[in-house]
Structures are given as structure tokens and as C-alpha cells.
A = this chain, B = another copy of it.
Amino acid sequence: MIQFMLQHQSANQEPLRNAPEEFVLPDVAAYLNGNSLGLMPKRAQQAVQAALQAWGEDAVAGWNTANWVGLAQQAGDKIGRIIGAQPGETTVADSTSVNLYKALHAALALRPERNVIVCEAGNFPTDLYVMQGLAAARPNLVLRTVDPDDVEVALDDSVAVLSLSHVNYRDGRRFDMPGITRAAHDAGALVVWDLAHSAGAVPLSVADDGVDFAVGCGYKFLNGGPGAPAFAYAAKRHHDQLQNPIAGWFGHKAPFAFAPEFEPSAGIERLQVGTPPVLSLAALDAALDVFLEADETALFAKADAMYAKAHALVKAQLEPRGFTCISPPPEANHGSQISLRHEHAWPLVRALAAESVVGDFRAPDVLRFGFTPLYTPLEAVETLVETLVGLIDTSAWDKPEFHAKQRVT
């Protein structure tokens, strides 16, 4: 343990230039739920205040005076830097689900002679729902749902699109993005990656990896606020042929010309649809600056250190106490979250919350904890494990009230 601490000590030495001070930290012992909702950057709060002020004082002129009109693309390019896209390949619009719908539609249109989407059975539910909805509307479309280990085997010459979440929301497994993208391309398919649990959590290089399309959300590791607008990436090589099924005025090449015929924007903006929700967008746009000002190498080194430490402590202290780690070992591909299985997961997550340690429950028996390198201190990992050890080892565990609320309500 001491050896471990020494080994990773450098990761604990201000790798982020005061990044934690950039956040409003809730009054808890450890917030390990940034993979559900990221904490509020002070700059995001200020940006929303400024947007409110512009609305109040400038009213409609705010579209220009406060650059609301350029905000979605500005935020899009910031996210592009975070995911390793080229400028002009990423935009902010709608929700992740809507963006996935658009990206899948666009990808399918680029492979008209094929009729299969391959996805993973354990994908985030909304991704599965979007694909099921597409398949329901297209009698010819087949959804081939496979286990994560069988993805490459499933890629035959009927496959139009492979759509996966890069990091699994439930157990934190991470797919090999460059390898699987290459395999899909070798099979003649296109890829649509969902980066909801990756962006801001792990290093990404979508352009170098040859990714066709990607979508993701702004409110987890990017700290854009509850329900922050989502993003969509499309490689520049697809832009000219890119068909957005939802043709709206913000995807028009001249939105304010009020032309009667739709002509898509030449660039990634064609994935936009309607007027963006400016207040939420302003929060996201400012939140991204905090990320971009951090030292990315140090950031992900810290994330790795937290993960390795968590994994080691779970193995050493929690698995002997009835927990099973369902997340990959540190040397394998993983995200910035760790998940444990325990038959009393639900009361344990509630008991943790009572001890001011904020984690997450996924039915029926998973405890899930996210590490946001921007603001989660390395010590939070110890706090988590010590609190769980305490809960298991003390008499509280035996009291009926501990289990009283075991049912999900």
C-alpha cells in the first residue's frame, strides 16, 4: 500500500493547476458520481449568470452581443479538442439520443446496400432503444446484438454500421477504439461510437483512430450541467454526403436567410437542427474551458492512478468482504469508473450516502463509482473503501433498518 502510494505520488502533486478550485464542491466526504452528473465549474455558473444578464438587458440582441448564435459551434470545437477531432468536425446539439439517431441514420445512408447494425447487448439502454426504434421503422433493418467479445466476429459484409459505447456505463469496460474501428472498416462497415462515459475520462483520438461518427453527452465528465446539450462528431471525409434525417434551420447553410428550400450547411453544422438551449449551452461551453486549461497528460495520469488504486484496494479489502469487482484490471482497457457487485448493493449505496460518500446503484446488484480527474482527490478512493469496509465490519450491517429500503423505490 505504501509502495503503491509512493509509486503514484506524482499523480497527486497538483497535476491540474488548481483545477479543483474551479468547482463548487458539494459538502460531502467523497463525490464519486461525476459519471452520472459532473460537478458545477464556477465558470459555468458565471457563464449562466452572464447569459441571464444578456437576456435581461439585451433581449433578442443577445444572439449577437453574447454570441449565442455561435455558441454551439464554439462548444463543439472545444469538445473536438477533447476527443481528438479536427476543427469543424464536432458540434453541440440536442441530446445524446437524438444525436445517435442522426448519426446512425447518416451512417446507414452511406451504406445503402447493407442492412445490419451491430451493437453490444450491454450497451447503455437509450442507445439500444434508439436502434430498436430505427429497426422498427425500417422493415429491412436488422439489429444484431452481440456480447462484447463477439463484436469483431459479427462483422460480415451485411453490416452497415457498428455502434458501440466506448466505455460501458455499467462495468467500465473500454473497447479498443482504433482496433475495432479498423476491423469494422476492413469489413466495409462504418462505426458510430458513443463517448458518453469516455469524453473527459480517458484519452481520445477519434481522428487518428479513423472514427466515422461519434456522439456523447456534456453532463458527465465534461461537467456541462444537468441535461447539458450533447455533441456529435463526423469525420470531415463524410461531410459532403452527410444526411441529417431531421432537416432544421440551424442545419441550413444560411439559417437566417429564411430560404424556402433546405440546403445543408457545408460543414458539421448540418448535424444541428433547431435553436439550441442557450442557458444550458452557456454552462457547457464554459465548463469545457476548465478541462482545456488542465494538463491533459497529468489529468489522465491522475485518472489512471485513481483507477489503479481503487482496483488494488477493492481486491485487497473489499473482495474478501463479499464484493466482486466487475471492472477490468488496471492493465486492461478501462474507463474512469469502477463497479462492484454485492447482493446488498442498494442498501450499501444508501448507507454510503448517509456517510456522505456519493456513489451510484445499477439494478440489480451493482455499486458504481466514477473518478473525475479534474476534481476527485486521490484520497477519495481511500475514503470510499474505508467507508465500505466500515459498513461491512460494523454492527450497522446487522441491523434490520439497514436493509429496510433494499427495494428500489
A129's partner among B58, B243, B249, B275 (CB-CB below 8 A) is B249
Query: A258 vs B62: C-alpha distance in the bound complex, in angstroms?
Result: 40
Q: Does A260 contact B (CB under 8 A)?
A: yes
Q: Does A160 contact B (CB under 8 A)?
A: no
Q: Does A281 contact B (CB under 8 A)?
A: yes
Tell whether, in the assembled complex, residue A226 and residue B278 are in contact, meaning their CB atoms are under 8 Å apart.
yes
Q: A125-B259, A258-B363, A280-B279 are in contact. Are A97 and B249 (CB under 8 A)?
A: yes
Interface string of A31-51 (1 = CB under 8 A from B): 101001101100001001001
Q: Which B residues are CB-close (under 8 A) to A226?
A: 51, 55, 62-63, 68, 275, 277-279
Tell whether, in the assembled complex, residue A227 and residue B59 are in contact, meaning their CB atoms are under 8 Å apart.
no
A275's partner among B39, B227, B278 (CB-CB below 8 A) is B227
Give the Cβ gap from A186 to chain B, nearest Cβ, in Å.
Answer: 29
Q: Does A246 contact B (CB under 8 A)?
A: yes
Q: Which B residues are CB-close (under 8 A) to A278?
A: 225-227, 280
Q: Does A362 contact B (CB under 8 A)?
A: yes
Q: A48-B48, A98-B274, A252-B125 are in contact. Are A279 and B60 (CB under 8 A)?
A: no
Give the Cβ gap from A78 to chain B, nearest Cβ, in Å.
Answer: 17
A101's partner among B33, B45, B121, B246 (CB-CB below 8 A) is B246
Stretch of A11-19, A130-138, A148-156, A293-301 contacting B (4+ beta carbons < 8 Å): A130-138
**Contacts A132-B261, A226-B275 supplied; 8 other A-B pairs, CB < 8 Å:** A40-B52, A95-B273, A95-B275, A97-B246, A98-B98, A226-B277, A278-B280, A279-B280
A-B contact pairs, 9 of them (CB 8 A): A26-B58, A31-B59, A37-B60, A40-B59, A55-B225, A94-B98, A125-B259, A129-B249, A225-B277
Give the Cβ gap from A138 to chain B, nearest Cβ, in Å.
Answer: 10
Tell whether, in the assembled complex, residue A277 and residue B274 are in contact, meaning their CB atoms are under 8 Å apart.
no
Tell whether, in the assembled complex, residue A26 and residue B262 are in contact, meaning their CB atoms are under 8 Å apart.
no
Tell whether, in the assembled complex, residue A227 and residue B98 are in contact, meaning their CB atoms are under 8 Å apart.
no
Give the Cβ gap from A129 to chain B, nearest Cβ, in Å.
Answer: 4
Question: Copies of this chain, how many?
Answer: 2
Give the Cβ gap from A258 to chain B, nearest Cβ, in Å.
Answer: 5
Q: Which B residues are CB-close (under 8 A) to A126?
A: 248-249, 274
Interface size in chain A (residues, C-beta < 8 A): 78
Q: Does A201 contact B (CB under 8 A)?
A: no
CB within 8 Å of B: which A58-110 residues: 58-63, 68, 94-98, 101, 105
Query: A96 vs B257: C-alpha distance in the bound complex, in angstroms?
Result: 18
Tell whether, in the assembled complex, residue B98 and residue A275 are in contact, meaning their CB atoms are under 8 Å apart.
no
Q: Does A228 contact B (CB under 8 A)?
A: yes
A248's partner among B121, B129, B281 (CB-CB below 8 A) is B129
A252's partner among B24, B129, B217, B230 (CB-CB below 8 A) is B129
Q: Which B residues are CB-close (under 8 A) to A94?
A: 94-95, 98, 274
Q: Which B residues are CB-close (under 8 A) to A230?
A: 274
Q: Which B residues are CB-close (under 8 A) to A400?
A: none
Q: A45-B52, A48-B52, A60-B33 are in contact. Are A132 and B98 (CB under 8 A)?
A: no
